[in-house]
Amino acid sequence: MLTTPSQLLLRNIADLTGKVLLVEPMADDLARELAQAAPALQLFCYSTDKTVANNWQAQSNAPCYFTSELQTDEVFDTVVIFYPKSKEQLSFSLAQLAPFISSSTDVYMVGDNKGGIKSLTGHAEKLGLTAHKLDNAKHCLWFALNGLAEQPQPAIAMKQFSATAKEHSLKFCSLPGVFNHGKLDIGTALLLENLAHVQQGAVLDFACGAGIVGSFLLKQQPALKLYSSDVSALAVASTKATMQLNQQTATVLAADGMPDGTPLFDHIVSNPPFHTGLKTDYSVAQKFIDDSKSKLKSSGSLTLVANAHLPYAEWLKTTFGNVKELARRQGFVVYMSRKS
């Protein structure tokens, strides 16, 4: 299966030459399809998403750079950027490319109309670049982006932020592309207010984002053995920086789903995602709930926050046989289940 942006890329495959770097592609069959359609191309992938990286490596021997900061000795003939969720993340990705392109590198951008790519022309002008629309199909757009080699974008460094939760001041670090970059969202704030039962043992902060939840728990209970995991290399880098900023210790892991090689946990806490790209995708959260039971010790707890309209209570009841509502506010609910 191919996502519609990948289908539009294949439709414009004649634009690709030589060494081709795909930046933040989707978790679909594009690597296999490109290799079959144009075997002469030398393909490379740069992704900050562990799901995408695993998917790429499962179908291609071509290099895949899974990292928050691209590092390679290659200089690419063609770069295709899949339009990210935010303009700030786009600027972050563009800044990454400067050492790896030349004045002869062709840079293209592809994305779904609903994802904001329609505003690319104006945004590119603000960056000193020019964007020309070359194709429009399947509710997606294909652009040529010119001037990037001549106008390298300034690097975007890890930034420090602060917030207040439960009368506690929080300091954390974040990169563009991390969930709710630079902010404490309403759901996570509600979760922090309902973690008094997490007092000892091994704890997993699943979908850790910038590491706010884990850092908060360590402030309350410094003896906790904290593990933090996320599918995003940007989140992993941000959580490590948050721990360093607060002089705390945690094992931070990149994982597509529940992390491997960990002990059983006394507690798992999370504000789990329910989107894959632009689309609502409940399967990630449902699988997380199902897998959590086997990762918990007997009497261990799973505590999560969710939008009130999502069917998490039903899934928790089905998996654990019990569910308790701890709090509800502004459209969010905190649930807890225990392993019997």
Q: What is the CATH number of domain 4-146?
A: 3.40.50.150
Mean pLDDT of the chain: 95
Spatial contact of 226 and 214, defined as CB atoms under 8 Å apart: yes
Model confidence at 285: pLDDT above 90: no
Tell me the domain boundaries of the chain: 4-146, 159-338
Confidence of residue 45 (pLDDT cuts 50, 70, 90): very high
Q: Taking residues 35-43, what's their average pLDDT? A: 96
Q: Taking residues 195-222, what's their average pLDDT? A: 97
pLDDT digits (tens, 9 = 90+) for 14-30: 999 999 999 999 999 99
pLDDT digits (tens, 9 = 90+) for 130-161: 999 999 999 999 999 999 999 999 999 999 99
Residue 327 DSSP SS3:
strand
pLDDT digits (tens, 9 = 90+) for 245-254: 999 999 999 9
pLDDT digits (tens, 9 = 90+) for 218-232: 999 999 999 999 999
Q: Taking residues 81-97, what's their average pLDDT? A: 93
Residue 25 DSSP SS3:
coil
Q: What is the CATH number of domain 159-338?
A: 3.40.50.150
Model confidence at 276: pLDDT above 60: no
Model confidence at 281: pLDDT above 90: no
Largest CA distance in the chain: 62
Q: If you write DSSP's letter for every residue of 31-93 in order, what string do you get? A: HHHHHHH-TTSEEEEEESBHHHHHHHHHH--S-EEESSS---S---SEEEEEP-SSHHHHHHH
Overall pTM > 0.85: yes
Please, what is the end-to-end C-alpha distance for the chain in angstroms? 40
pLDDT digits (tens, 9 = 90+) for 102-124: 999 999 999 999 988 999 999 99
Spatial contact of 308 and 243, defined as CB atoms under 8 Å apart: no
